[in-house]
């Protein structure tokens, strides 16, 4: 009877039978422990070499949980504890502690004799990595069996009456964790080990104060404020429609992909994931080509490029092909579906950062929820869970409330997010994108309320009693006070010149650092955001140009 038949027949006692002989290798464990004990007898330097080879496969501290035989777990624990504290390690020094195990019944001589046998059977140092990998591999196989049986038991019981997708999500999460992190069980971590780990990072930061700690965004001011995008952070990039959220996200994604490609450290190499629920993969690729080639995006999609532009496009395509960049354009995703895709990207492509365009197009998993605020809260929490689980930055684009349009001041505020569930609460960083040029165009005094330009030939030549031109039949005819409105047009033109091609990022929330404003150049023809660290608050926008 196979496992499926067992589950179907609910023969749970037979499931237990399967686990009586889980995968393990008693001999490999003995040989590896013998190598550790033998090297320790030769001095700390030799022991460090063996531990270093274990570290090439897995953290030496975590390796203990991958051993299967209880007495071997205890022996390794004693060796590593004494190694960390700088104490001498020998069969003589370890035997008293080891003898307290039930197996030795307080017989120190028996414990010492067992340790001596291990040294006698020790493997060569060049076998250590292979033995370590073998032991870890078997440990993960045991965990896969455990997860399968736990899932089968949960499904058969179904005490919470969960939807099948909840079980699939949990299985994928646990299996992805094994593949990505090589974890057996994620245990609680002692403060002492955390202090050692964090203090080591502090020392490295002190020795390399100018080194970027996160992913390079390609924008100097943004890097300075955030230290680069950090692992496990949920970063919300929010704006009203037509501000350029997708364009900025693509620029950030391409910059990070180039940074990952050029990294000299294998540990830092990896891929960029971009999940688009609005635009197709081909549309996004066309935009990336426009950004990289600096060729007008309209020309690329509609034709009309010249030979020089075509050559630039070919060069851009060759460069983009070298990037580890994955696009997924499946629409109508649920948050559990997004989690599944992210895990697959992590396993298959060594995912280092994930972009989601955009948050409000995702759906929650709760089938009966008619409350959109609750659904968006579920989605934002799910995005944060992905960031923590995969230990990567997740950059999620978000629309802002329409109420912003009712204000005279259109600069976004955190309150514009609050109607969208718990986005602000779940986010580690909230970035608002704002382009004044977009709103200023709508205030063009040379156009009527329908956006139609006035026709100068239709302006009535006679003056009214109050000194204004008048017309009663044609709304396209200007009714102006010559001096006053010419001045207004000049002020508007000056304001447009002041903010043309400029964008501003407002970092309004930063859980682990400062907030601030960042200034960028925006090229509308190629939908490209360009680093402009020389911009200053004083000359960036039209605060003092007198146009209301």
Q: What percent of the chain has pLDDT over 90?
A: 9
- With bands split at pLDDT 50, 70 and 90, how would you rate the model's confidence at 58? confident
Other C-beta atoms closer than 10 Å to the C-beta of 407 total 11
CB 480 within 8 A of CB 539: no
DSSP run (H or E) holding 274: strand 271-276
Diameter of the chain measured on Cα atoms: 119
**Secondary structure of 204-253 as H, E, C letters:** HHHHCCCCCCCECCCCHHHHHHHCCECCCCEEEEEECCCCCHHHHHHHHH
pLDDT > 50? residue 531? yes
pLDDT of residue 45: 75
pLDDT of residue 272: 92
CB 63 within 8 A of CB 20: no
Domains annotated for the chain, with CATH where assigned, are 1-211 (1.10.860.10), 215-431 (3.40.50.300), 440-540 (no CATH)
DSSP run (H or E) holding 377: helix 372-390
- With bands split at pLDDT 50, 70 and 90, how would you rate the model's confidence at 464? very low
Partners of 235 in beta bridges: 395, 429
Strand order in the sheet with 271-276: 325-328, 271-276, 351-357, 394-399, 234-239, 429-434, 502-510, 516-523, 528-531
CB 79 within 8 A of CB 94: yes
Residue of 482 and 286 predicted with greater confidence:
286
* DSSP annotation of 122: P
pLDDT > 50? residue 517? yes
- Region of residue 114 (phi > 0: left; psi between -120 and 50: alpha; otherwise: beta): alpha
pLDDT of residue 186: 47
Summarize the chain as % helix, strand, coil (round to 5): 55, 10, 35
CB 67 within 8 A of CB 60: no
CB 521 within 8 A of CB 532: yes
pLDDT > 80? residue 476? no
Partners of 453 in beta bridges: 447
pLDDT tens digit sequence for 224-276: 888 899 999 999 999 888 888 999 999 999 999 999 988 877 777 889 999 99
DSSP H stretches of helix in 279-334: 281-293, 297-302, 307-320
> Which range among 240-254, 332-346, 518-532 has the greatest average pLDDT?
240-254
Nearest to 334 by CA among 364, 354, 359: 364
Instruction: Say which range, 14-23, 205-214, 216-225, 389-398, has the weakest mean pLDDT.
Output: 14-23
CA 389 – CA 395 distance, rounded (Å) = 15
CA 356 – CA 488 distance, rounded (Å) = 42
pLDDT > 70? residue 376? yes
Q: What are phi and psi of 504, to 5 degrees?
A: -135, 135
Whether pTM > 0.75 for this model: the answer is no
Residue of 546 and 160 predicted with greater confidence:
160
CA 235 – CA 238 distance, rounded (Å) = 10
């Amino acid at each position: 009877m196979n496992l499926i038949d067992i589950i179907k027949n609910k023969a749970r006692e037979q499931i237990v039978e399967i686990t009586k002989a889980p995968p393990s290798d008693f001999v490999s464990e003995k040989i590896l422990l013998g190598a550790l004990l033998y090297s320790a007898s030769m001095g700390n330097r030799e022991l460090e070499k063996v531990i270093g080879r274990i570290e090439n496969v897995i953290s030496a501290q975590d390796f203990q949980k991958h051993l299967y035989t209880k007495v071997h777990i205890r022996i390794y624990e004693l060796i590593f504890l004494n190694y960390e504290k700088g104490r001498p390690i020998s069969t003589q020094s370890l035997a008293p502690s080891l003898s307290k195990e039930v197996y030795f019944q307080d017989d120190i001589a028996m414990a010492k004799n067992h340790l001596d046998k291990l040294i006698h059977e020790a493997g060569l140092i060049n076998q250590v990595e292979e033995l370590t990998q073998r032991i870890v591999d078997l440990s993960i196989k045991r965990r896969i069996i455990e997860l399968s049986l736990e899932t089968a038991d949960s499904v058969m019981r179904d005490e919470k009456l969960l939807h099948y997708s909840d079980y699939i999500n949990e299985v994928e999460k646990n299996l992805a964790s094994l593949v990505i992190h090589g974890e057996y069980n994620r245990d609680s971590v002692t403060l002492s080990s955390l202090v050692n780990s964090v203090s080591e990072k502090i020392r490295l930061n002190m020795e390399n104060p100018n080194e970027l700690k996160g992913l390079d965004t390609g924008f100097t001011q943004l890097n300075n404020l955030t230290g680069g995008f950090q692992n496990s952070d949920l970063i919300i990039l929010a704006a009203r429609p037509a501000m350029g959220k997708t364009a900025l996200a693509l620029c950030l994604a391409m910059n990070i992909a180039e940074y990952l490609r050029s990294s000299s450290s294998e540990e830092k190499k990896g891929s960029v994931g971009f999940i688009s629920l609005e635009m197709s993969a081909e549309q996004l690729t066309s935009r990336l080509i426009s950004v990289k080639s600096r060729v007008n995006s309209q020309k690329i999609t509609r034709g009309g490029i010249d030979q020089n532009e075509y050559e630039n496009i070919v060069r851009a395509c060759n460069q983009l092909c070298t990037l580890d960049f994955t696009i997924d354009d499946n629409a109508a995703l649920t948050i559990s579906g997004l989690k599944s895709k992210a895990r697959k990207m992590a396993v298959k492509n060594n995912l280092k950062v994930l972009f989601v365009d955009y948050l409000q197009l995702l759906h929650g998993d709760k089938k009966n929820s008619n409350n959109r605020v609750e659904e968006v809260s579920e989605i934002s929490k799910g995005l944060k869970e992905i960031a923590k689980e995969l230990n990567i930055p997740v950059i999620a684009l978000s629309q802002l409330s329409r109420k912003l349009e009712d204000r005279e001041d259109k600069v976004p505020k955190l309150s514009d997010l609050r109607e969208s569930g718990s986005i602000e609460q779940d986010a580690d960083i909230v970035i608002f994108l704002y382009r004044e040029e977009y709103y200023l165009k709508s205030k063009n005094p040379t156009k009527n309320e329908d956006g139609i330009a006035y026709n100068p030939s239709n302006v009535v030549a006679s003056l009214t009693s109050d000194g204004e031109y008048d017309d009663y039949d044609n709304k396209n005819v200007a009714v102006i006070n010559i001096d006053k409105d010419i001045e207004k047009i000049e002020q508007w033109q000056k304001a447009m010149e002041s903010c043309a091609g400029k964008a501003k990022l407002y970092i309004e929330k930063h859980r682990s650092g400062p907030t601030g404003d960042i200034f960028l150049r925006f090229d509308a023809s190629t939908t490209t955001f360009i680093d402009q660290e020389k911009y200053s608050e004083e000359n960036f926008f039209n605060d003092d140009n007198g146009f209301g």
